[in-house]
Structure 1
Amino acid sequence: MPFVAGLSVSVLASGISLFGMVPIVLWCLLARTWRTGLAVGMTLAALHVWFVVPRQLGWSGPWVPSYVERFWLYALVTAFVCAVGLAVQRRLLAGAGWLFAMVGMGFFITGVVLFDELEAKPRDEGVLPGPPGLQVVEGPGYCGSGNCSREVTMTGDRAPEVVRGHLESRGYTARTPERMCREVGVVFTHEVCAEPKTISADTVEVTWYVN
């Protein structure tokens, strides 16, 4: 459908903020009774919050969706919710095509994102923004052997101690004295590791990468 193709391009340009509204807008077009419409609409809004807010706040854990899950998994879950609503309204066949198109768009965007990230540096992953009171300067990072890393230098009072506390508050736990890691994802988890290296009493260099 030309509409779906155009919407996919717009989503790729705007990110999850636009795609998150697709199921809600679609349900507004498909709903026929106010009770079912309200119940499903509130469920979709709650799902949108769950898929977006925890990661934006830098949280981690097995209940926090990863970045790519905010496309393919979000599409699957919201399509199921909409399908239940349509079944209650006895209009499942009428909206099935739109739901399949939405799921297909979610998987298409996921594929594009994964391909784009093959040789891309990791996202902020809770390392940034840095803790208040520290000056943050990002370095060039590194790419090689199919993986990339980012690095920042943070300077300020007791920077090494403050940065470790900051990483712990974002879900990182010590794996070795030099490395801290965290996992994010509901269905398929991915591990991000950060290596804070003390330069001086007030300076620390942090390198992070996706395992």
Structure 2
Amino acid sequence: MSGTGVVVPFRLREHWWRLALLTVAVATCVWGASLFALIPILVWCASARSPRTGLVVGLILMVLLAWFVVPRELGWSGPWVPAAIEVYWLHTTLAAAVCFAGALVERRRPAGAGRLLTMVVIGFVATGFVLFAQLEEAPGDENVLPAPAQLRIAEDKACGSGGCWRVLTATGDRAPAVMREHLASRGYTPGPTSTITGNPRMCQQTGVLVTHQVCAELKDISANAVQVDWYVNS
């Protein structure tokens, strides 16, 4: 409100692209549980000056964000699907380069270079923190869970000299076949038999520059029950 008591209108025409980008980015990050990936778009929306350049660079950042979040959440795998840990350092580094190029296009001295460098450093620090925190932790759901709704699931975790792993026991009609079909639909492919337990394995691999492989061992208990152990195969 101004000194004359007149409400100063928000310049929606000037800033609509910021609101649109932030809305889509927040929705994507919340869906993919990757709120850290929101930082580059926040930085760009706060520093961009030209609506045209701001929107174009923002869309490039949005495509980059989608690449790092969506394929993995859909259960896709392969060397072109970024691993979850790459969101912290690789996505941040690439996004910083895009923001830097956008600043040059706007013909302004990249005064935000220090801010972008800080963003990259934070990304690498976060990567180290996450990797350290995961050293003694069992893996996450890794597209094994949620399991098919028609099966009854009992979960547990175990640890040994080689680290920790998750254990799932599924019971129900044709449980072994249903779990194999479920894993295949989530990007798991048949892998070599475990040299320790002799159980068949299905593995999923992601990672553009750093490979992240998760393997699930399946042990048939009966025609209607199966045990699945999954772990990060480093």
TM (norm. structure 1) is 0.88
Q: CA RMSD in A?
A: 1.7
Who wins on radius of gyration, i.e. which is larger? 2
One-letter code of the match for 2:203?
A: C
One-letter code of the match for 2:81?
A: V
Deviations 1:39-98 (A, max 9, x none): 011111121122112222222111111111011011001001101101111224311011
Contact 2:100/2:110, CA 8 A, preserved across alignment = no
Output aligned runs, 1:22-101, within 5 Å: 22-101=39-118
47-56 or 72-81, larger mean C-alpha shift: 47-56
Whose relative contact order is higher, 1 or 2, with alpha carbons under 8 Å and at least 6 apart? 1
Distance, in Å, in 2 between the alignment partners of 1:57 and 1:137 is 24
Structure 2 gaps, min length 5: 1-29, 194-199
Distance, in Å, in 1 between the alignment partners of 2:108 and 2:209 is 30
Percentage of matched positions with identical amino acids: 56
One-letter code of the match for 2:117?
A: F
Aligned to 1:203: 225
- Deviation for aligned residue 1:146: 4.1
Structure 1 gaps, min length 5: 1-13
What SS does the corresponding residue of 2:149 show, helix, strand or coil?
coil
- Deviation for aligned residue 1:152: 0.4
Deviations 1:126-154 (A, max 9, x none): 11111231111102x22222421111011
- Deviation for aligned residue 1:17: 3.3
One-letter code of the match for 1:204?
A: V
- Deviation for aligned residue 1:35: 1.3
Question: Of 109, 114, 128, which aligns to 2:131?
Answer: 114
What SS does the corresponding residue of 2:45 show, helix, strand or coil?
helix
- Deviation for aligned residue 1:196: 1.0
Aligned to 2:153: 136
Distance, in Å, in 1 between the alignment partners of 2:109 and 2:95 is 14
